[in-house]
Amino acid sequence: MATTSAKTPAAKTSAAKTPATKTPPDASRRSERSRRAILRASMELVGEVGYNKLTIEAIASRAGVGKQTIYRWWPSKAAVLLDAFTQTTDEAQEEYAQGLPDTGDLAADLRQVLHATVDEFTDPAFEAPYRALAIAGAADAELAAQFYERLSEPGQQVYERRLRSAQEAGQIDPDLDLAFAVEFLLSPFQQRWLTRYGELSYEFADRLVDMALRAFAPRG
């Protein structure tokens, strides 16, 4: 949950591999307009009422479509929301289409992407629905597994690739377990966001990068 994954192309790739839609929406302009209206309505509503009170009926009503239109394309409200997340964030964040920035300066690259993530997680339009999803996932192990596959794991892999590049350049410990390293780097961000126990700021992101890179350094 709550990684920067939603911002990455990997989430899109994963969505293409494991579509939540029962059948691909009709390619006509009208279908596409309905589909976008449904995704937008699901994001707005989950932020307003929370995941538990979100209904397909309410999404349909807000989107101006019939319930059956939604059921034809998605098996559940969770499936709608996951598509909504991967879609809207893909659209907004084309700059990471090739993965994280790789200027050769790992610290600068991580700070850049984490600053963008701070912006995202302090934007109520993103934050409120994402929080609703995160809470629903914490309460429901099956839903959590779907989030992991569709959002978290693809996002982690984007970070892993950037760390692998640094590893190959000899900038971090060659024996570092990269999946664990990413978990270690991102968890304080995710946890602080979810618990609200501290401010999500650029300064916090910078300290996180500094601390993580000290841990990742080649052993002396």
Contact in structure between 113 and 101 (CB atoms under 8 Å):
yes
Work out how close the CB of 193 gets to its own copies at its nearest, in angstroms, rounded to a whole number. Answer: 10
CB of 134 to its own copies, least distance (A): 7
Question: CB-wise, 96 or 130, nearer to its own copies?
Answer: 130
Sign for the CA dihedral angle at 75, 78, 84, 85 comes to negative
Q: Which helix (H) or strand (E) holds 151?
A: none
Instruction: Provide the minimum distance between the beta carbon of 217 and its own copies in the complex, in angstroms, as a whole number.
Output: 7
In the bound state with its own copies, the residue whose beta carbon lies nearer, of 64 and 218, is 218
Integer Cα distance of 136 and 140 in angstroms: 6
Question: Is the CB of 39 or the CB of 181 nearer to its own copies?
Answer: 181
Helices 178-195 and 106-121 pack at an angle, to 10 degrees, of 30
Closest distance to its own copies from the beta carbon of 210 (Å):
9
**Given the complex with its own copies, which of 39 and 46 has the nearer CB atom?**
46
Site for its own copies, rule CB under 8 A: 1, 50, 52, 131, 134-135, 137-139, 141, 144, 147-148, 152, 177, 180-181, 183-184, 187-188, 190-192, 194-198, 207-208, 211-212, 214-215, 217, 219-220
What are 70's two structure tokens?
């939604």
Instruction: Report how far Cα 61 is from the mean position of its chain's Cα atoms.
Output: 26
Place of tokens 């937008």: 40
Of residues 63 and 134, the one with the C-beta less far from its own copies: 134
Cβ at position 211, least distance to its own copies in Å: 5
Place of tokens 């997340």: 85
* Other Cβ atoms within 10 Å of 45 Cβ, number: 23
Instruction: Find out whether 94 and 12 touch, Cβ atoms under 8 Å.
Output: no
User: How far is residue 148's CA from residue 16's CA, in Å, rounded to a whole number?
Assistant: 15
CA distance 16 to 18: 6
Rounded least distance, CB 101 to its own copies, Å: 23
- The nearer residue to its own copies, 32 or 177, going by C-beta atoms, is 177
